[in-house]
């Protein structure tokens, strides 16, 4: 019971830290869709006025190579599967950390989008996971994992099989290690961006892994049955530099 309370408190804190505004109805289509987010609330103004917004279409030919690598120290953690009305999110009580540029960031949660929010050289992917991390001083960093349709993803099997169909949460049946959903290579494209949901706060570093992984058509269909579309369109690059690390 104590662990469950800890996880729930973490998830509430995560929503607050990621800029969710309570009581403002937003979505992915029509009058409450991405093109209108900035007009739905003053708290969402950055969605309209921001200059380093996410996601982006990654231009690989102009990416600048850097020596910085991603190092992970993830561990098995209890957690909860949450339908927050906009995506399926897995909140983790103590899932370990990742190191970006010599700074450690604790993994808070991961969540899904269909289609994938980032594109690579205008190529779209059917699904992606965003792994959200936070440093001790409050800075956010996101690892993006792209998915192609293919074989069943055994690491996500229990998560995708137990997603709440409506807003709510259920405990993970088994503790989860985020490392299990990563590809073998952590080579990435990096860029400075923002939250991809309202209020679109900037100052978020993104690391989109080059190597896609797979999930089965059945797994993708099960997610799309709940969220047929929950991806923000790509945003202007506005002169941002994209880096390439191995």
At a CB cut-off of 8 Å and minimum separation 6, what does 110 contact? 89, 90, 92, 129, 130, 131, 132, 178, 181
Helix runs in 94-198, H state only: 157-161
The single residue of 25, 86, 113, 130 carrying the catalytic annotation is 86
Phi-psi region of 97 (alpha: psi -120 to 50; beta: other; left: phi over 0): beta
Q: Could you tell me if 169 and 11 are in contact, meaning their C-beta atoms sit under 8 angstroms apart?
A: yes
Handedness of CA 90, 143, 103, 240 (dihedral sign): negative
- The dihedrals phi and psi of 236, each to the nearest 5 degrees, come to -60, 145
Residue 86 designated active-site:
yes
DSSP classification of residue 97:
E
Q: Could you tell me if 145 and 210 are in contact, meaning their C-beta atoms sit under 8 angstroms apart?
A: no
Residues annotated as part of the active site: 86
């Amino acid at each position: 019971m104590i662990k469950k309370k800890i996880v729930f408190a973490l998830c509430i804190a995560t929503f607050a830290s990621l800029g969710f505004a309570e009581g403002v109805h937003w979505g992915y289509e029509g009058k409450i869709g991405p093109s209108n987010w900035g007009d739905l609330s003053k708290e969402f103004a950055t969605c309209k006025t921001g200059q380093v917004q996410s996601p982006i279409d990654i231009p690989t030919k102009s990416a600048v190579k850097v020596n910085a690598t991603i190092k992970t120290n993830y561990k098995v953690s209890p957690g909860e599967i949450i339908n927050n009305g906009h995506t399926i999110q897995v909140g983790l009580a103590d899932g370990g950390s990742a190191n970006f540029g010599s700074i450690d960031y604790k993994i808070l949660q991961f969540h899904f989008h269909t289609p994938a929010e980032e594109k690579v050289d205008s190529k779209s992917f059917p699904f992606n996971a965003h792994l959200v991390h936070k440093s001790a001083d409050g800075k956010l960093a996101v690892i993006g994992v792209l998915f192609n349709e293919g074989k069943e993803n055994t690491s996500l099997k229990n998560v995708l099989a137990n997603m709440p169909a409506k807003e709510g949460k259920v405990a993970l049946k088994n503790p989860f290690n985020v490392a299990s959903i990563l590809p073998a290579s952590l080579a990435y494209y990096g860029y400075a961006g923002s939250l991809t949901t309202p209020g679109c706060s900037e100052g978020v570093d993104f690391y989109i892994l080059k190597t896609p992984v797979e999930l089965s058509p059945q797994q993708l269909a099960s997610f799309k049955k709940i969220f047929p579309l929950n991806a923000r369109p790509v945003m202007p690059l506005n002169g941002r530099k994209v880096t390439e690390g191995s």
